Amino acid sequence: MLANNVWPLGSNKEGGPYNNGLIQPLVNCNFEGDLCLLSGPIVTVNWKVDSGQKWTVPIGGGVGSNFHLGKLPVNTGIDAYYNVVRPEYGANWKIRAQVQFMFPK
């Protein structure tokens, strides 16, 4: 699980121009053959806007795999999330693709 909140250290009346947070639960289920199911939706909140517009809450997941390019290990994944809660003009869907080159010692 990853969680954080970012706010300014300013001292004006409104507490600054932003106050945003996120929560990211991470789930990974590995199978034989280097295939895995994964889910890491990023739930966000903007504490400075009206109550009905604060949250973006996605649900979904995807698949990933580890393999080697020669001797170099590579971690890949693709996942999709539907935003069941979102601000009025927020996106309905998010698709994320990743490629990580790993350099072990």
Report pLDDT digits (tens) over 17-66: 789 999 999 999 999 988 999 999 999 999 999 888 999 999 999 999 99
**Residue 14 pLDDT exceeds 60:** no
Residues 6+ apart with CB under 8 A from 104: 73
Residue 85 has a pLDDT of 97
* Average pLDDT in the chain: 92
**Residue 12 pLDDT exceeds 70:** no
> What are the structure tokens assigned to 47, written together?
């504490």
**Residue 105 pLDDT exceeds 90:** no
The domain locations on the chain are: 25-101
Q: SS3 sequence, the chain?
A: CEEEEECCCCCCCCCCCCCEEEEECCEEEECHHHEEEEECCCEEEECCCCHHHCEEEEEEEEEEEEEEECCEEEEEEEEEEEEEECCCCCCCEEEEEEEEECCCC
**Residue 5 pLDDT exceeds 80:** yes
> What are the structure tokens assigned to 41, written together?
């939706």
Q: What is the pTM of this model?
A: 0.83
